[in-house]
Amino acid sequence: MIEADAAAATDSDDDYDAERLRLIREVRQRLESLARAGVDLLPRSPERPHVPRSAVAARVVVEPPPAPEPAAPPPAATRPEPAPQPTTTPTTRTRPAPTPAPAAPAAASLFGATEFKSPFIEPADRPAALALLAEEVAGCVRCAELAASRTQTVFADGSPTARLMFIGEAPGADEDRRGVPFIGKAGQLLTDMITKGMGLRREDVYIANILKCRPPENRDPLPHESSNCFPYLERQIEIVRPEYLCLLGRISAGTLLNTALSMGRLRGRWHRVFGIPAIATYHPAYLLRNPAAKKDAWEDLQMLMRAMGLVVPKKKG
């Protein structure tokens, strides 16, 4: 039936997008219905590869890079340019030491929970769980230098039940002052990418960073700082259980994918983090300094949109 629908839909991109969106909504509604009924485990599909929990690094490519499509939207502005991206082969970097991989489970949860340490949290309970975690983070002094220099911790912004989570690097000056991630000029660009580019509302997604404290002078996070703070991000992902992740910039992608590959080699294809499909793309701050890269970032977002069942704007002209 699905194949027949797909074949018929090839006559029209609009029909195809609409049908795909409808199917995704139906499946999602069905899963949510099962979850409300207390069913939180379903048999794993035999063709679905199991990604060990410890393999926040072993990312599985699930879709080839898309054919180039034209230009992107957004504005311009500040934030220090990231250091040149390394081109070395993958190495262990800022990630915490991996925990032993569990034995392959007999079943997977609705949202791939077998990749997580903690159980599924009902959507209604997520705001409280995140608030509790945010409170813990607010008192954190694991990184002495950051704890001493921060104005406040910057936990996250957005919906506790978001389908999509953006993960950046660390708060900047504006974020440190206001306690909200991505609110400076780079944040405005990210907001434009979400709203004008993807057609979503910023409050519908979840936005977090690797570090919850601003590094002095906006320097790169040090390896021990990323390791110290990673458990908080891991917990945020576990609570929100997004369907998709978008890793912004080389620090975020390098940490979560456990690689030193350049963004040029990481973008344009799918990875997995805790079993969650993830893409890597340029950090908005980098795009502000390198507007020519917006085209690539827009291609990455379109790949994400197709997977999410969102309608991708047609090429003009």
Closest by CA position to 31, among listed 120, 110, 115: 110
- As measured in angstroms, the least distance from the Cβ of 129 to ligand SF4 is 17
Smaller CB separation from ligand SF4, 129 or 146: 146
* Residue spans of alpha helices (H) in 55-199: 126-138, 144-149, 173-178, 185-192
Residue 85 or 236: the one with the smaller Cβ distance to ligand SF4 is: 236
Q: Which of 157, 225, 234, 238 touches ligand SF4 (CB under 6 A)?
A: 225
CA pair distance 275, 53, nearest whole angstrom: 8
User: Which region, left, alpha or beta, applies to residue 199 given φ > 0 means left and ψ of -120 to 50 means alpha?
Assistant: left
Binding to ligand SF4, residues 126-165 (CB under 6 A): 137, 140-143, 146-147, 153
What are the two backbone dihedrals, phi and then psi, of residue 280, each rounded to the nearest 5 degrees? -115, 140
Site for ligand SF4 in 93-132 (CB under 6 A): none
Quick one: 208 exposed, middle or buried, by C-beta within 10 A (0-12, 13-18, 19+)? buried
How far are the Cα atoms of 16, 58, 158, 310, 312 from residue 55, in angstroms, in the given order? Answer: 34, 5, 27, 29, 31
Helices (H) and strands (E) in the chain, counts: 11, 8
How many chain residues touch ligand SF4 (CB under 6 A)?
A: 14
| Binding region for ligand SF4 (CB under 6 A) out of 58-66, 121-129, 225-233, 284-292 | 225-233
Q: How far is the CB of 161 from ligand SF4 (least distance, A)?
A: 24
Residue span 175-214 as binding mask against ligand SF4, x where in contact by CB under 6 A, dash where not? ------------------------------------xxx-
In this complex, which beta carbon is closest to ligand SF4, that of residue 51 or of residue 229? 229
Which parts of this chain interact with ligand SF4 (CB under 6 A)?
Answer: 137, 140-143, 146-147, 153, 211-213, 225, 228-229
